Amino acid sequence: MHFAVITKVLGILLMVFSFTMAPPVVIAYWYRDGSELAFLSAFAVIFLLGLSLWLPMWRKRAELQTRDGFLVVTLFWTVLGVIGCIPFLFNPALDISITDAIFESISGLTTTGATVLTGLDELPRSLLFYRQQLQWLGGMGIIVLAIAILPMLGVGGMQLYKAETPGPMKETKLTPRIAETAKALWIIYVTFTITCALLYRWAGMDWFDAVAHSFSTVSTGGFSTHDSSLIYFDSALINGIAVFFIFLGALSFALHFAAFRSRSLRAYVVDPEFRFFVGLIVSYIVIVASGLWAYDHYQGNTSATLHHAIFQVVSFSSGTGFISTDSSDWPTYVLYFLVLTSFLGGCAGSTGGGMKIVRAALVFHHSLRELRRLIYPTGVFAVRFGHRAADDRVLQAVWGFVGVYIMLSVMFTLVFIMTGMDPGTALSTSAASLNNLGQGIDGVASGFGNVTDFAKWMMCFAMLLGRLEVFTMLVLFTPLFWRQ
């Protein structure tokens, strides 16, 4: 392990992060909301912290290896998640415990979007902007993590993507080409964000809300500047725009890159994960809409039924967590179904949460193969994904991932029951955190302000685990990892 270099890199990260206080400072001045000094002090503290990590180590050089990668990635997200709480603590308009501040910060950065705050509409705009910006930056980070870094680390079968990502990714060294890959992906991400913001503005949001919500839309983050989320705008047009950009955010950015490079939509149509995802979304919508119809929830109003079914399905299954309606009076099983869709989540290499569609698809095809094998015991069946047969090693990694993920969901649910939640609420809390969904139902439908501090810390842990594809972080808990 190259601890010196890792410390140095962390120092640089913090110094770079400190400059993200600039937009909130500008906004604080613009709206004169009284947060200027808070953000400036946050900048100073975080910059100096970074400097104090970097300075003693700045001469150290070493090529980071694959194994350092697990530690670096986990530290990046954990340290940034914790340090990101400073602006919440410093803000004079907010009286918040350290637990709550760290929760909000980690929830932002992991694009979870679970919140302990209420009265958002009254908060300083600069602080609201900071929250949205956390999600946007987290989304950026996750795309690079999922497409450029995790495949090299071999987490959860993501070697699958090695061959498909732009640039040669077969080296075991961490640095080369990451920058180049990142640049290409970020151009797409920024383009989506700007387009989304312009459309939101056109559809009726003010500039501030348009930009703020574009941040949490393409990152499938789900933070809003209003307590009532998108219900506040009460606009089918805005909801439609949200659905479209959430959907884009939940697709693989490697796929967007391929489509962008070939200047054609064919890349999407032929992609097996895209097709599986669309198929799933359509069946989700059918199930939710027919549930609403069966209970005559919108008194036969087809357009309202479809509108909210589509919105909630896309929002929950991608792990975004925006809401278009107060669904607390929806049929219970529909609500739980929505929560369960977040376990499969979005596509790999997207900003979406959950186990990822590609894994769900492989597991599904694998299970079908086992059924076929029972009928033709001597037949040879490959697990196909698109036109290729999935590699056995990849399948094994995927199964290992899925197994551990389900085990963790169950464990977190039990832990949340232990903190006093009823079983349904506990499951919803697990899904909200581990799948980076952010939105709860039942006892946590209106936020997580009232759960115990212990539950909040467990949620922080779950959010980080989920965002780092579980294994990246879990591997650090094995003695084997630390052996030389």
Calculate helix-pair angle for 453-467, 392-418, nearest 10 degrees: 170
Q: Which partner, K ion, its own copies, none, binds residue 172 by CB below 5 to 8 Å per kind?
A: its own copies
Residue 317 CB, nearest approach to K ion (Å) = 11
Q: Which helix (H) or strand (E) holds 388?
A: strand 388-389
C-alpha–C-alpha distance, residues 305 and 290, integer Å: 9
Q: Which partner, K ion, its own copies, none, binds residue 438 by CB below 5 to 8 Å per kind?
A: K ion
Q: Which partner, its own copies, K ion, none, binds residue 272 by CB below 5 to 8 Å per kind?
A: none
Q: Which partner, its own copies, K ion, none, binds residue 410 by CB below 5 to 8 Å per kind?
A: its own copies
- Cβ-based nearer residue to its own copies, 119 or 377: 377
Q: Which partner, K ion, its own copies, none, binds residue 97 by CB below 5 to 8 Å per kind?
A: none
- Cβ-based nearer residue to its own copies, 96 or 340: 340
Q: Cα separations (Å) of 78 from 64, 71, 379, 403?
A: 19, 10, 48, 24
Instruction: Please identify which residue in the block is written with the tokens 């698109």.
Output: 386
Residues 436-475 that bind K ion (CB under 5 A): 438
Judged by CB under 5 A, the residue of 84, 139, 249, 321 near K ion is: 321
Residues 380-439 that bind K ion (CB under 5 A): 438
Residue 396 CB, nearest approach to its own copies (Å) = 7
Residue 330 CB, nearest approach to its own copies (Å) = 12
What is the DSSP code string of 55-120?
A: GGGTT---PPPHHHHHHHHHHHHHHHHHHTTHHHHH-TT----HHHHHHHHHHHHTT--------G
Q: Which partner, K ion, its own copies, none, binds residue 113 by CB below 5 to 8 Å per kind?
A: K ion
- Cβ-based nearer residue to its own copies, 77 or 471: 471
Our finding on whether 249 is near K ion (CB under 5 A) is no
Residues that bind its own copies (CB under 8 A): 66-67, 70, 153-155, 172, 331-333, 336-337, 340, 363, 366-367, 369-375, 377, 392, 395-397, 399-404, 406-407, 410, 413-415, 417-418, 422-424, 427, 471, 474-475, 478, 480-481
Our finding on whether 139 is near K ion (CB under 5 A) is no
Residue 391 CB, nearest approach to its own copies (Å) = 13
C-alpha–C-alpha distance, residues 184 and 140, integer Å: 12
Residue 438 CB, nearest approach to K ion (Å) = 4
Residue 318 CB, nearest approach to its own copies (Å) = 19
Q: Give CB contacts under 8 A, 24+ apart, made by 159-166.
A: 159/391, 159/393, 159/394, 159/397, 160/348, 160/358, 160/390, 160/391, 160/394, 161/254, 161/348, 161/349, 164/254, 164/258, 165/254, 166/254, 166/257, 166/261
C-alpha–C-alpha distance, residues 77 and 450, integer Å: 25
Our finding on whether 222 is near K ion (CB under 5 A) is yes
C-alpha–C-alpha distance, residues 236 and 315, integer Å: 14
End-to-end CA distance of the chain: 8
Residue 45 CB, nearest approach to its own copies (Å) = 35
Q: Which partner, K ion, its own copies, none, binds residue 11 by CB below 5 to 8 Å per kind?
A: none
- Cβ-based nearer residue to its own copies, 82 or 476: 476
For the record, the structure tokens of 414 come out as 């039990």
Residue 82 CB, nearest approach to its own copies (Å) = 25
- Cβ-based nearer residue to its own copies, 138 or 157: 157
Q: Cα separations (Å) of 217 from 145, 229, 461?
A: 19, 12, 24
Residue 220 CB, nearest approach to K ion (Å) = 5
Part in contact with K ion (CB under 5 A); list of ranges 51-59, 155-163, 164-172, 218-226: 218-226
- Cβ-based nearer residue to its own copies, 92 or 403: 403
Contact status, residue 468 vs residue 73, Cβ threshold 8 Å? yes
Residue 198 CB, nearest approach to its own copies (Å) = 40
- Cβ-based nearer residue to K ion, 11 or 113: 113
Residue 439 CB, nearest approach to its own copies (Å) = 17
Q: Which partner, its own copies, K ion, none, binds residue 155 by CB below 5 to 8 Å per kind?
A: its own copies
For the record, the structure tokens of 16 come out as 């770079």
Reported as half-sphere exposure (CB side, CA atoms, 13 A), residue 274 has a value of: 18
**Contact letters (x/-) for K ion, 105-124, by CB under 5 A?**
--------x-----------
For the record, the structure tokens of 322 come out as 């925006």
- Cβ-based nearer residue to its own copies, 144 or 155: 155
Q: Cα separations (Å) of 53 from 9, 83, 326?
A: 9, 14, 47
Query: What's the gap between Cα 351 and its chain centre?
Result: 5
Reported as half-sphere exposure (CB side, CA atoms, 13 A), residue 209 has a value of: 19
Instruction: Please identify which residue in the block is written with the tokens 């962008």.
Output: 260
Contact status, residue 157 vs residue 390, Cβ threshold 8 Å? no
Among residues 28, 22, 31, 34, the alpha carbon closest in space to that of 92 is found at 34
- Given the rule CB under 5 A, which residues bind K ion? 113, 222, 319-321, 438
